[in-house]
Structure 1
Amino acid sequence: MRKLSNTLSVLLFLMISTILFSTVDGNCFWYGDPGDPIIPYYEPSDDVVRPLHDYIHNNVYPRLTYAFLTFDNRGTDRGLTVYDKSKAYDGYTLLGSLAPVDENGLPWELDNSVGRPYSAILIDMEGNIVNKWQVAGFPAKMLPGGYVMGGVGTGVPGHLEDRALVQQDWCGNEVWRYEASVDPDKEIEDEDGNIIKFDGGLRMHHDFQREGNPVGYYAPGMHANTDGGKTLILIHDDPDEDTSHISNFPLEDDAIREVDWEGNVIWEWHPYEHFDECGFSDIAKEAIMTIQSGAGIIGATFPENDWQHINAVSYLGPNRWYRNGDERFHPDNIIWDGRTSNMTAIVARYDDPEGRWQSGDIVWKIGPDFVPGTKEHRLGQIIGQHMAHMIPQGLPGEGNILMFDNGGLAGWGSYFPGLPPMYPTVFRDYSRVIEFNPVTMEMEWEYVLKTPNEDGRKFFSWFISGAQRLKNGNTMITEGSTGRVFEVTQKGEIVWEYISPFGSINEQTGLSGPGMVYRAYRVPKGWVPQNAKCEKQK
């Protein structure tokens, strides 16, 4: 290709600048949005590449970041704001609250033995608090009989993780615990050069599942075990092996671990060992190699590269694809999604009978790229997604993939073909909840609101969040960053809405802020004990 002329370079620069700041319609893809013009590959000269790259990185990206971080579309109402009894699915709602204070702005009572406020909060359909537990809401999940699971204690500070995963009964008494350390022998230097023990306990984060139910929410005939069975846990892991072929920085990697009721490790999977199966382009690999993104920092000498940031892990469970002979969708296989990479994948638990893969191989994926020519292009660009899972058997849409496509900022690669490696590379200022066929990649259902409605709200949470399919066909959505939890019909009608009043307090200013909710789950009324009398264990 010939080099661009100076005149064309200026015109291209102006055109791109216009696109970057034109977000009135909420459509701010760099590429990959079906129906939008596709910017072709070009081979610009250095006098175009560096100024364009620097302009985007130094001016556009910080403005987008600031806008996303400060965006709050909740309005002034708090608590229950919508309830159509004739259309909403009756039950209780468990909020995984990330707020340290109650609805009156007062700190939750804190039990130092667990190091957690009451972050798992159960409300009824009217928004009244029914019960609360001192476990992390990152996430918290309810089991039949009024049991709740969540994290307790602090792992490595600043890494959004917990020292142990526990199960508590209705009264908050602990009935099960797992906290085997991931890195029991690791040592690091603090900022003064002293050797300290790297012991964050389990380092559990973002997701877990108890055997009996594949996804952690109600599905007919699939109740999670409460007194036995396996537990699937997502944990942080800093590999001891040499990972310099992946990144110049130490990796903040993840591990997916399955343990039995006694805490014995049955199975474990590490993403970094499957780097070559992820399908990163050469420019994306260069970005992962040279750029540090997203992880916490221990002291001043231990920067890590959070190259995947997996936030969801679940079993596939019984499904129509496997019944029809597609071995990729074995019920025991594991689906996960990476927020940083824009990638969702399924991992095999067993060797393929026909020798096409071995246990641990990635057998299905979408992303990390959604560019023209890829099978996933028809879905549109997915960015920073959360809670990707297969809708369980017995629910409307069973077998389809449901996820909260956050938008915001994510992705490894370059801003445009021909520009230097960078993270993030794709941006969008609204969220979507999408349901699609994992075989054909056809979109089956979508909830989206690109522009503000008459109340000045739009649908957008660029981090945390999730979606649950309900028995009546409605979808329960957690717009996490605003603390908004709502139920929509297949036609998009909001029939129940609750906006968390559990605010957070900025210690420097004393000002209150949004009461973020990591995830919320609607549970059947039959799961809640009636007239229970509680006695706390001593």
Structure 2
Amino acid sequence: MEEVDLALPDELSPGYLFWHQADELATDVVNYAMLLDVDGKIVHRWDTDLNGGGHTSYLLNSGGLLRTGIRDRRYVAGQPVAATDTLQITDRTGKAIWEVSAEEIDFNGHRITFHHDMAPMPNGNILVLIYEEISPKEAAAAGWKAGKGETVWSDGVLEIEPDLEKKSFEIVWYWRFIDHLIQDQDANAATYGVIAEHPEKIDGNFPESYAPMNAVRQHLNSLDYHPVLDQVVVSSFIYNEIWVIDHSTTTAQAAGSAGGRRGMGGDLLFRYGNPAAYGRGSEKDRLFQNQHDANWIAEGLPGAGNILVFNNNTGVGGITRAGTGRAAAAAIQEQLKGISNVHEIRPTVDDGGYVLGKTGTFEAKQIWFWKNDDFFAPFQGGARRLPNGNTLLTDTVGRRVWEVAPDGDVVIRYKGPAPAFKAFKYSADRVAELLE
């Protein structure tokens, strides 16, 4: 650790910092993770045989990791940001004990890659974000104007059941962006309709332009699972929204519209952050800007059941795009301006369903809000609730992790050796076997 500034020792949440180095734009980094004590000393490290940035890893009860990364750069060449080809479960040293390659997966006859985020489930399965390669013809049939390229990338969520003994896997559930579109530009497509009349569906042509990346409109960048609700929350960078999806469905139901019991189906149960995305608001109503790491606060923690959203709040002005590669990406990051913030929200529910208010937009109560003029994270980043009520914040580009108290005071500042997408903190009991 390069620097540790403990400002309020009496308010510090005890434990060990989990730091996985990654940066989706500026660096191509070795994909390793480390456990740090309060002084920033490395007390455990998980090494790797993968590389690639733009993702995190998750500590499992075994002391191993769930992680993703790149083994074959040829397979991910030309794909959208943070694409990876390998998903692993490791032992306590970082050695893979189970692995699946995206190249092994035949997904409805389409090629896929993993990207950005995944979530270990209580049943041992894995939820992971995917890019699905579809043809421009398939996109056009869904009324999605996806540019003139030969390939279109449709985001999705895949559930994989790993078999550690047989070193095999099974796809047990999935959700696809392209199955849930609404649009008002192609009357001949089955998805044609009035966008404002269907808040449960996604306008495939929003925003009006996302050049040059029309071929990947969603850019989902985080994923989390709620085991009691049996729901998934994802964050869409492009739509400036978070979306909640029903996981209690079959795969066939997840491909269809909501129907049957309330909320059944793969359409959106809840969306929040930018009502203009479903025709029920304007720019002045937008709450999020390029947000990341939407996650439910876990049971047993202060605010349990609420959703934390790390809002990068990135403004762009006077950007000079000179050159390509890592140096150019880093230079662009330095030009971005803003003050990031964190929202803790509690969606309004009635009879088990999410409520649309009088204005026709989904409702949520803001429980907690945080910002600091000195804290700006232009890309990636995360917010995680701690047992004592503090919140752990990650600034990926700045290689910073801050722990802040409920009243907003900064308890401790870490300046790390490498970028981290989102950091976590674990109690001494939780990681005891890793400290031996």
Taking structure 2 as the reference length, the TM-score comes to: 0.72
Structure 1 CA distance for aligned equivalents of residues 259 and 4 of structure 2: 52
Does residue 175 of structure 1 match 2:92? Answer: no
TM-fit CA distance, 1:434: 0.6
Could you say which residue in structure 1 is the equivalent of 2:296? 390
In structure 2, relative to structure 1, the CA distance for the partners of 1:377 and 1:306 (3 Å cut) is closer
TM-fit CA distance, 1:146: 2.0
Could you say which residue in structure 1 is the equivalent of 2:85? 163
The SS at the match of 1:261 is strand
Could you say which residue in structure 2 is the equivalent of 1:49? none
Which of the numbers 33, 37, 51 marks the counterpart of 1:124? 37
Structure 1 CA distance for aligned equivalents of residues 96 and 344 of structure 2: 36
Larger RCO: 1 or 2 (CA < 8 Å, sep 6+):
1
Structure 1 contact 149–167 (Cα < 8 Å) conserved: yes
Could you say which residue in structure 2 is the equivalent of 1:400? 306
Structure 1 contact 339–385 (Cα < 8 Å) conserved: yes
Does residue 82 of structure 1 match 2:3? Answer: no
TM-fit CA distance, 1:176: 1.9
The SS at the match of 2:139 is coil
Structure 2 CA distance for aligned equivalents of residues 210 and 285 of structure 1: 29
Q: Residues 264-279 of structure 1 correspond to what in structure 2 (within 5 A)?
A: 264-276=170-182
Does residue 310 of structure 1 match 2:220? Answer: yes
Could you say which residue in structure 2 is the equivalent of 1:433? 342
Deviates more, 1:472-481 or 1:354-363: 354-363
Q: Which residue identity lines up with residue 211 of structure 2 in the other structure?
A: Q
Structure 1 contact 378–441 (Cα < 8 Å) conserved: no
Could you say which residue in structure 2 is the equivalent of 1:343? 241
Structure 2 CA distance for aligned equivalents of residues 239 and 354 of structure 1: 30
Does residue 292 of structure 1 match 2:197? Answer: no
The SS at the match of 2:179 is helix
Q: Which residue identity lines up with residue 419 of structure 2 in the other structure?
A: M
Structure 2 CA distance for aligned equivalents of residues 274 and 293 of structure 1: 23
Structure 2 CA distance for aligned equivalents of residues 182 and 340 of structure 1: 29
Could you say which residue in structure 2 is the equivalent of 1:332? 230
In structure 2, relative to structure 1, the CA distance for the partners of 1:252 and 1:496 (3 Å cut) is same
Q: Which residue identity lines up with residue 159 of structure 2 in the other structure?
A: E
In structure 2, relative to structure 1, the CA distance for the partners of 1:285 and 1:174 (3 Å cut) is closer
Structure 2 CA distance for aligned equivalents of residues 117 and 333 of structure 1: 33
Structure 1 contact 234–254 (Cα < 8 Å) conserved: yes
TM-fit CA distance, 1:368: 3.4
Q: Which residue identity lines up with residue 422 of structure 2 in the other structure?
A: R
Does residue 499 of structure 1 match 2:422? Answer: no
For structure 2, the 5+ residue unaligned runs are 164-168, 184-190, 198-202, 317-335, 349-362
The SS at the match of 2:84 is coil
Deviates more, 1:129-138 or 1:487-496: 129-138
In structure 2, relative to structure 1, the CA distance for the partners of 1:285 and 1:232 (3 Å cut) is closer
Q: Which residue identity lines up with residue 410 of structure 2 in the other structure?
A: I
The SS at the match of 2:93 is coil
Larger radius of gyration: 1
TM-fit CA distance, 1:179: 2.1
Give the % identical residues. Answer: 23
Structure 1 contact 465–517 (Cα < 8 Å) conserved: yes
In structure 2, relative to structure 1, the CA distance for the partners of 1:169 and 1:376 (3 Å cut) is farther
TM-fit CA distance, 1:487: 0.6
Which of the numbers 513, 518, 536 marks the counterpart of 2:421? 518
Structure 2 contact 66–89 (Cα < 8 Å) conserved: yes
TM-fit CA distance, 1:126: 0.9
Structure 2 contact 206–239 (Cα < 8 Å) conserved: no
TM-fit CA distance, 1:292: 3.0
The SS at the match of 1:203 is strand
Which of the numbers 134, 148, 159 marks the counterpart of 2:65? 148
Does residue 204 of structure 1 match 2:117? Answer: no
Structure 2 CA distance for aligned equivalents of residues 311 and 185 of structure 1: 21
Q: Residues 46-57 of structure 1 correspond to what in structure 2 (within 5 A)?
A: none
TM-fit CA distance, 1:379: 8.1
Q: Which residue identity lines up with residue 448 of structure 1 in the other structure?
A: K
Structure 1 CA distance for aligned equivalents of residues 342 and 300 of structure 2: 20
Structure 1 contact 97–119 (Cα < 8 Å) conserved: yes
Structure 1 contact 146–528 (Cα < 8 Å) conserved: yes
1:45-80, Cα deviation, whole Å (9 max, x unpaired)? xxxxxxxxxxxxxxxxxxxxxxxxxxxxxxxx9421
Structure 1 contact 145–528 (Cα < 8 Å) conserved: no
- Whichever structure has more strand as a proportion of its residues is 2
The SS at the match of 2:429 is helix
Could you say which residue in structure 1 is the equivalent of 2:16? 92
TM-fit CA distance, 1:491: 0.4
Q: Residues 450-465 of structure 1 correspond to what in structure 2 (within 5 A)?
A: 451=373, 458-465=374-381
TM-fit CA distance, 1:151: 1.4
Q: Which residue identity lines up with residue 396 of structure 2 in the other structure?
A: G
1:77-103, Cα deviation, whole Å (9 max, x unpaired)? 942122543211111111121279xxx
Structure 1 CA distance for aligned equivalents of residues 415 and 6 of structure 2: 10
The SS at the match of 2:103 is coil
Structure 2 contact 297–307 (Cα < 8 Å) conserved: yes
In structure 2, relative to structure 1, the CA distance for the partners of 1:237 and 1:183 (3 Å cut) is farther
TM-fit CA distance, 1:518: 1.2
Structure 1 contact 386–464 (Cα < 8 Å) conserved: yes
Structure 2 contact 275–286 (Cα < 8 Å) conserved: no
Deviates more, 1:476-485 or 1:427-436: 427-436
TM-fit CA distance, 1:165: 0.9
The SS at the match of 1:273 is helix
Structure 2 CA distance for aligned equivalents of residues 342 and 89 of structure 1: 31
1:152-207, Cα deviation, whole Å (9 max, x unpaired)? 324513532221111111122222222243775999xxxxxxxxxx96xx622111
Structure 1 contact 99–119 (Cα < 8 Å) conserved: no
Structure 1 contact 146–529 (Cα < 8 Å) conserved: no
1:349-403, Cα deviation, whole Å (9 max, x unpaired)? 33778544442121111143369x9699998621111011221221111121111
Figure out how many residues of one structure are paired with residues of the other and give that number: 358
Structure 2 contact 293–309 (Cα < 8 Å) conserved: yes
Structure 1 CA distance for aligned equivalents of residues 195 and 413 of structure 2: 39
Deviates more, 1:265-274 or 1:344-353: 344-353
Q: Which residue identity lines up with residue 90 of structure 1 in the other structure?
A: P
Structure 2 CA distance for aligned equivalents of residues 530 and 185 of structure 1: 39
TM-fit CA distance, 1:474: 0.6
